[in-house]
Amino acid sequence: MKRVMFVCKKNSCRSQMAEGFARTLGEDKIAVTSSGLEASQVNPTAVEVMSAIGIDISAQTSDALSDFKPEDYDAVISLCGCGVNLPDAWVQREVFQDWQLDDPAGEPIETFYRVRNEIKERVETLLQSLGVEPASEQISVGESVSR
């Protein structure tokens, strides 16, 4: 079973959504964790936009990358371009990708929907590259609905 770490600056939006998608699409075929360069809290709007497509990330926690060991992971995915700030041991894993997605925090909900949909596509591609067929038929992002 491949072990994946999603990392971002504060582990509040992008990495939390990626963790939610990977857990759902990976159907227990991969182990998934997310963390931040610093811990904060899960953004309520991220919880809302994931809930809108049937993925509950409300129980996920925001954790600091320093709480984990790089050797425990096969794949490390940076979602914010923070790869340059990661210790070498993290970027030298079997798979390292730096996705550089927009930060939706503080932006209109439409930005959250757009970034969420981008994350879903990238997580599906990542899972396929790790030999896991994503269960994407379970999730339809469809048209984003604003409040």
Per the domain annotation, does 143 fall within a domain?
Answer: no
Per the domain annotation, does 141 fall within a domain?
Answer: no
CATH number of the domain that residue 106 is part of: 3.40.50.2300
Confidence of residue 138 (pLDDT cuts 50, 70, 90): low
Per the domain annotation, does 140 fall within a domain?
Answer: no
The whole-number pLDDT of residue 140 equals 66
Per the domain annotation, does 77 fall within a domain?
Answer: yes
The whole-number pLDDT of residue 133 equals 87
Per the domain annotation, does 28 fall within a domain?
Answer: yes
Residues forming the active site? 8, 80
DSSP string for 75-125:
EEEESSSGGGGS-HHHHTSSEEEE------TTS-HHHHHHHHHHHHHHHHH
The 10s digit of each residue's pLDDT in 18-48 is 999 999 999 889 999 999 999 999 999 999 9
The whole-number pLDDT of residue 117 equals 97
In angstroms, the Cα distances linking 24 to 12, 64, 76, 106, 127 are 18, 23, 18, 26, 11
Q: How many domains does the chain fold into?
A: 1
Full residue range of the structural domain in which residue 24 is found: 2-134
* 147 has a pLDDT exceeding 50: no
- The one-letter amino acid code at 131 reads G
The whole-number pLDDT of residue 144 equals 44
Per the domain annotation, does 74 fall within a domain?
Answer: yes
Per the domain annotation, does 49 fall within a domain?
Answer: yes
Per the domain annotation, does 32 fall within a domain?
Answer: yes
